[in-house]
């Protein structure tokens, strides 16, 4: 179960599908629902059409979601509240986005839910010794570090399991800039992104 989001939500759908999950997505933007469906989302839900919590219950045979990943950006507390209410007992909610966190005990206590907040790219993020000093964590103890997550992400792209090309337009729409795209990058300009250690992505814009 994936609840709302732009480019992060779209990538989450593809990552979940690549790992064999059945994906239900909730978004306020119908174009994003359509794009996620093209990338394998099993069912898209728009809150104007149906109560999203009840719809998840219907789609799971009354059980509820095994897990919910929240990739939205909003000050509303209702997003996390709804995520809790969509879950089955002992399920997990993972917050990737930035939403209101005035949690209501009744939403999660009786279900004994796990609530996790993602550390950006993974373990190692914001650790100066790891990111700048190159001090890696032992694989046997920390299987998915920031660098290993990025390496896996690049492998999935290389294998064709992730399609990022349609997301470039979505990213441009979300950018908080006041310039036209052609003013951001000159035609044919090569740009290198290195947001994580040990990995880089190159692209021609």
For residue range 35-61, what is the model confidence (pLDDT) as tens digits? 999 999 999 999 999 999 999 999 999
pLDDT of residue 108: 96
pLDDT at 137 over 90: yes
pTM of the model: 0.79
pLDDT of residue 106: 96
What letters, b where the CB count within 10 A reaches 16 and e where it falls short, cover 27-60? beeeebbebbeebebebbbbeeeeebbebbbebb
């Amino acid at each position: 179960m994936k609840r709302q989001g732009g480019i992060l939500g779209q990538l989450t759908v593809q990552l979940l599908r690549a790992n064999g999950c059945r994906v239900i997505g909730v978004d306020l933007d119908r174009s994003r629902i359509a794009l996620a469906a093209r990338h394998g989302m099993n069912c898209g839900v728009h809150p104007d059409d149906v109560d999203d919590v009840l719809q998840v219950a219907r789609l799971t045979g009354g059980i509820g979601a095994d897990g919910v990943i929240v990739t939205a950006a909003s000050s509303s507390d209702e997003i996390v509240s709804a995520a809790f209410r969509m879950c089955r007992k002992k399920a997990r909610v993972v917050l990737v986005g930035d939403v209101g966190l005035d949690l209501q005990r009744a939403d999660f206590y009786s279900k004994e839910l796990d609530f996790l907040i993602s550390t950006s790219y993974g373990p190692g993020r914001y650790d100066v010794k790891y990111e700048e000093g190159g001090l890696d964590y032992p694989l046997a103890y920390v299987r998915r570090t920031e660098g290993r997550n990025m390496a896996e992400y690049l492998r999935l792209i290389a294998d064709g399991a992730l399609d990022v090309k349609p997301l470039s337009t979505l990213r441009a729409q979300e950018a908080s800039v006041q310039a036209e795209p052609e003013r951001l990058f000159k035609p044919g300009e090569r740009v290198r992104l290195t947001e994580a250690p040990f990995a880089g992505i190159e692209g021609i814009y």
